[in-house]
Each structure stands twice: as structure tokens, then as C-alpha cells.
Structure 1
Amino acid sequence: MADYYSLLGVDRSASAEEIKRAYRKRARDVHPDANPDDPEAAEQFKELSKAYAVLSDDQQRARYDQFGEAGVGGAAGGANFEDLFGNGGGLGDIFDAFFGGGGGGGNPFGGGGGRRGPSGPPRGQDMEVAVAITFEQSVFGDQVPVDLKLPQTCDTCDGSGAGEGTKPVTCSECSGSGQVRRVRQSVLGQMVSTSPCPRCGGLGEVVTTPCESCRGEGRVTTDKTYTVDVPAGVVDGSTLRLTRRGAAGPRGGGPGDLYVHLRVRPHDRYHREDDDLVTDVTISIAQAALGTTLELETLDGVESLVVPAGTQPSHQFVLKNRGVPRLQGRGRGDLRVIVDVEVPTQLSTEEAELLRTFAEGRGESVGEAGTGLFSKIKSAFS
């Protein structure tokens, strides 16, 4: 058998309280009812109990520290369950503590006195829906309708599931507790476990005359439309949670939540970089050299953009506070306009001469007339 301290996962200098806490934790992990498919679980639990029985007793622990397992002989027959779990709780009460069957005030796993009552109708499922919004809606926010089908409380029976003039009755199998207790014998003694009642599903009540509209479920699936407040500045992939807007629970159970996943459609001119809006504008060589004023269509309306003479390609103009509202703060990002200078690919003879004259005046070397690609192809066949 392994060292008792190693079995419990504590140091040899561990206090009595540390040993007790370690045993309770390990007991949960190796308990046979928690490991029904592990044939070795019962033996592991038995060895763990022996280790605790020795180390929780000062005299036996002292003999074990001096002589090992031989020093305690057959004394390690089992853990002092009355000391560990309080109030003289038997083995069945221990397993109730493990698996939710209640327990006395001395139960180290929590819970006050008395058996647990029926858990009541279960909460409805959480629902998810994806909604497409425009780029502008993501920037400025909007109220967006969301259409979906989801279970809702039956109006005919008001969620009880019972037919007209009737009501649910107490379950005869669990007497309204919503749980059943099963007792079985094992090498460790009597084991007790609890589980939801199979007849009433843990509700504590059964419907003998089902409602015709919902067939006893207490809810029906219908079309529903919610208006969702989309905050300004949301990004693609954002998820909004609408509390208690999900599916209604069966038999009067509370509703779950609704999760709305936002999909932002791309814009034909703008894109986001954090809280900034970015767009490109194309100007000609003459406009870049001589300057110009552009009418820029922003998401806020038309803005006049002054392009000074000598503007270079890829120059960036910044319009302050014309970007996206900040979700986590005040103000807005900026609007950044990136300039692209377009070089003409085809020139008339007059335009080419004007450019050549301009280049000569600046002392710049340019191609001779008739040295373009078309002229070279033409000369190859002459």
C-alpha cells in the first residue's frame, strides 16, 4: 500500500485540519458512485479511508510515523466518519452529501438541514441568432428588429401544462420531492444516491390531463420579434445578450437568455481601423501638383477637403472626431483620408507635348516623341 500521506496528498507535517480537508477532496474524486465504470474505485476509496483513520488519530499517527504501517496493525479499519461528517452520520448520509441528498448541519460539503425539495421547473434554453446590420448602423448605433422562432409560455394553460379546469397533481413516486433515493449494498456498506424522479422529471408534479394547445409541456413555439438596441461603435462579431429573452422553460420554468451575434456588412468606401474610419481618394497629377478642393462624402455628410499644392502620393489627411464613437469612452475616432495620385496611361499628342515642355523647363529627362510602346511595335513591322 502506498504511503498514507501520499494517498491523501499532504506533507508529513500537515495539520489535522489539512488532513481532513485533503481527505474530503480525495473522497469526492475516488468515490465509487462517482466512478461507476471504474472497478478499482471501491478499493481506492477503502485505502483512502484507512489512511485517514490512522492520520486523524494522534496516537496512531505517531506510531505510523515511527514504524510505518506495521506500527498500526489492523487498527486502520476505516475512517472516523462521525468525527469527519458530524452528528454520527452513517455511510448513507455521507453519500447523500456527495450526491445532493441533503445532510445534517455537520455536513462538511455545505447545505443546511433537511432534505432538498423539488427543484422546480427547469429554466428555458438560451437561444442564439445572427443579425446583419449595415456599416452605418455599426458606427452610429440603431434599433434593429430581430425575428426568430422560440418556445413561449402557453397562453391557454398559463404554462402549467394542465388542461382546462385541471391542475398538476403531486407525483406519487417521489411524493412531490422531485427526487428518488436508491440504496445499494457494497463492500463498503450501504450506499445511497439521489437522482431526479423519472416519473415527474424532477418537477414534483405530474399532469394527468394535458393542455390541448401545448400537450402538457406548458409552452408552444411561435414567431417572436424583438427590437434590439445596437450601441454605437460595435464591431463585426459583437454579441449582445438579452436577459430572459430566450426560450421559455417547460411547465412554467423561467426563460433563458437570447444572444444576438452581429454581422456588419462592408462599406463600399470606408473601413475601420480601431475607432478610426479610413478611405482612399484618387486625384490627378495636376491636382496633386497645383492643389484642389474635393467634396468628400463622409458618413456624417459632405465635407470639403482642401488638397494643397504639392501633395504627394499616400499622403494622409486626418479629420478629427469624424470616426467611430468609442464604446468604452467618450468622443470619437478620426477620419483618415489617404491620397492616391493617378498617373495617366494614355495621352493625346497635345497633352504629351505640354508635359514634355513642362519637363524641359524643369530640366528633367523624358522619353522622346514616338518612343512609346505602340510606336515601338509599329516600327518593328515597317
Structure 2
Amino acid sequence: MDHRDRPEGLAHCVLCDRPQRTEFPDYCAGCGGPVVLPPAPVALPATTESTGAWRYAGRLPISQETAWLSMGEGQTPLVSATSTRAWCATERLRYKLDHLNPSGSFKDRATAVGIAQAITQGAPAVVCASSGNAAGSTAAYAARAGLPSVVLVPEAVPPGKAAVAQAHGATVLRVRGDYSNSFQVARELAARLGWLNLTTTFVNPVAVSGLRSAGYELAEQLSEVPDWIVVPIGSGPLVHGIVTAYQELRAAGMHTELPRILGVQAHGCAPIVDAFDRDVERVTPWPTVSTRISAISDPLRGYPSDGTYTLRLVRETRGAMVAVRDAEAEEAAEALARDEGLLIESGAAANLAAVRTARDRGWIHQDELVVCMLTGHGIKTLAAAGRQEAPLVANTDDVIGQLPAHTTKAPEDLNDRVKR
């Protein structure tokens, strides 16, 4: 049966193709594989006059009755790189500023659709396992919907990310161990208490479908298909969203090709990169997480099929995978902040370091169009970055004493204006 011919409301397992219902989302009951929704119709519905995810109602499993939930998620700017083009020797580099979503991350694209699902189904509460960004997103949209939310984070989560979820009224609990432990507890809670699981692995196909909006927007913002789209990866739903959107656009005759995906993981937690490098089909869980890049530190323990599916998608686009060391990601984050004015967390800034690696390996050519998905705001991780306290000054002379030498010489005409 073709995916487009399945009865409305049914999803399918990407491994065994078994039809699935989505009212109580989980992995495939047959093989344990990831479940996704079928593509939008070949005659792709036009965009609506609504904002946020509801601009794509008809393509996504949402209706205008829940459009009041929108906080303007998506529709984020796409800007050209300036100084950092030279940093990674790439002439046509663009940044998709998804850190400017309402809660500070791309997760809002999925969460908005997932909360609409919770409202429609009358879910008593929502639960989410998160390494940080999904925590704030779930808590924010649950607050808007008036739903109780429980967020489970790894014990080493950056305090700023947990604080965002707490500020929105969520019950935030740290679970001993890494992200996979939090994931397992969230899954068990959802099953036991009838809560809707909004964890942004592939556990909820309705919520994950909201990530297609990123691909739709890129296609609208660019006059050509990018040669590469660079995506930070934990388990990989954003890869699915972008690739699926471009597949739909191609089926509708609006594009003729797919962008190549460059997937990025942390060197200290890189199960999908490992499988890519070994040229194997199946991803195996990462044994021990050893990275400070919390946003993409998912060992996939208990759900390695997420990684297997993501790897398959990357290969279908003729793409590649790169692991980035902590120091490289942090250097890239500093370059984005100081040279581009973009405050990005290391998990998203790792994209820029990955582009430089891909250029060195000859995968990306200098004149190719490259789009980096900047998925998370850096303000939530500043406290964990060990920034020095700003110097305390009492007067103008104190200020001048603290300034870099090149800033202390004012132009003569400026001095004259000050005196007048």
C-alpha cells in the first residue's frame, strides 16, 4: 500500500511499514521502529493566512480550531553569513535563525503541533524528556494551552534550560544518568498515566510532522534548492522534517531535487556518525556520553532505530555525517557571536565547525549553497559557559581604563561635537 493511500489518521513504521494509529504515540508495536505520518497529498495544499505552524494547516495534522495556540513559531529569518564565510572557506553560506522561535529553539515547530494534538484528544497532561530545548518549548506551549506539563531532564542538564521550563510552570525533574534514561521514564509515564508524550525523538509522529515547516520555509525563502543543509542531530527528527518537506515539494513538481544533508553530532556522543563512518546500515547505542554539547548528546539507548532511520535519510540525499569536538563547537559559537552577532548554543554552532570539516574533506565545494540550521539560542547556556563577571566601574576614567586600546581614540570631529 502506498503511504498516500492509507486511511486518514494512520501513520506507518519506517522499518516494517506496518500501519499505526497515533492517538497514543509510541514506537511500532510490531518491530519497535520509528513511526511517521504519511506525506502530504501530491497536490500540496496552499499556505493559509494564519501564522506559525497553522500557515501550513492542510499539510500538517492541525486545523484552524487550534490556531489560537500559535505563538508565531517558525517563519524565522534566513540570513547570509558575513565574516564566518572565510572561517570555513565557503562563499555562499546562509543561516536559518531557528533560535528565534518563541522559546528559543526549533523545537517549537514540533511542540505547537503536539500541544494541538493534546488539546484535540483531551489529554490530561503532557510529558517530555529533554536535554534542554524541548523542555522549555513543551512547558511554554503547555502553559499557553492550560495543560499540566512534566519535564524530565538528564542530571547534567544546563541549569538555564531547566530554569526556562520551571518559569513556565512545568514540573521539572532531573533523572539520574544521560538523556536515554530520561526518555525511558517519560515513555513509561505516558503509558501508565495516559499522558501525551511530546519527547522529540520519533516517539510522537504527529508532533514530529511539525518539523516539516522548516523545509517548507527554506523552499519559500530560496530561489534554488540548497546544495547542503547542515543539521545538528540527537536522534534526527529535524532531518526527517526537512527531507520529507522537500520530497513533497518534488512530488508536487515544485522542485526537481533534494538538498544534501550534512548531519552533525558531538564527538563524545556520535552513534549515527559511527555507523556512517563504518558504512553499516544499523546504528548501535553509544556506550558512554562524554561531551559538554548537551543539545545533541543522545546515546539512543533503547531506541537505536531512530538513528538507523536518520542515517538512511542522510544517505538517500547523498549526504554525510560529521562529529565535532567540544572545543570546535565552542570556537564556532564564539565566532558566530563576535563576528555575526548571533548568540547560538554550542549544539547548533557545531554546524559551522562541521562545514569547515566537510570543506577540508572535499565534500562541500567553495561555491555551493550551504544552509546551517541554527537551532538553539545561546542565552540559555551562558551561565554554564563560565563567563567572567563584568568589571565594576565608578566613573568615566574607570571605563576608559577598561577599554581595548583601539577603542579609546575618538575621531577629532566627534570630540568637537562632545565639547559643543
Q: Give the structure-2-normalised TM-score.
A: 0.19
Q: Which has the higher helix share?
A: 2
Q: Specify the structure having the higher radius of gyration (Cα).
A: 1
Q: Which has the higher strand share?
A: 1
Larger RCO: Structure 1 or Structure 2 (Cα < 8 Å, ≥ 6 residues apart)? 2
